[in-house]
Amino acid sequence: MKKEIKPKGKYVQKEAFCLMKYRCEKCQKEELIWNSRNGVTPFAIGCTSCKGTMQHVDWADDKYVPDHFPKHGDRVFITMPEEILHLLMKVRVEAFWDLESYPMKERYSSKQEAFKALLKDSHPHENQPYLLQL
pLDDT digits (tens, 9 = 90+) for 23-44: 999 999 999 999 999 988 999 9
Question: Would 29 be classed as within a structural domain?
Answer: yes
The average pLDDT across 79-100 equals 93
Side chain identity, residue 6: K
Q: What is the pLDDT of residue 124?
A: 55
**Same domain, yes or no, for 63 and 99?**
no
Q: What is the pLDDT of residue 6?
A: 58
Q: What is the pLDDT of residue 24?
A: 98
Q: What is the pLDDT of residue 105?
A: 97
**Same domain, yes or no, for 86 and 75?**
no
Q: What is the pLDDT of residue 82?
A: 87
Its domain, for residue 72, covers 18-79
Question: Would 40 be classed as within a structural domain?
Answer: yes
Kindly tell me if the per-residue pLDDT of 13 is higher than 90: no
Question: Would 94 be classed as within a structural domain?
Answer: yes
**Same domain, yes or no, for 32 and 60?**
yes
Question: Would 90 be classed as within a structural domain?
Answer: yes
Question: Would 134 be classed as within a structural domain?
Answer: no
Residues 104-131: pLDDT tens digits? 999 999 999 999 999 888 765 567 889 9
Could you tell me if 33 and 20 are in contact, meaning their C-beta atoms sit under 8 angstroms apart? yes
Instruction: Enter the DSSP assignment of 59.
Output: G
Q: Which helix (H) or strand (E) holds 79?
A: strand 75-79
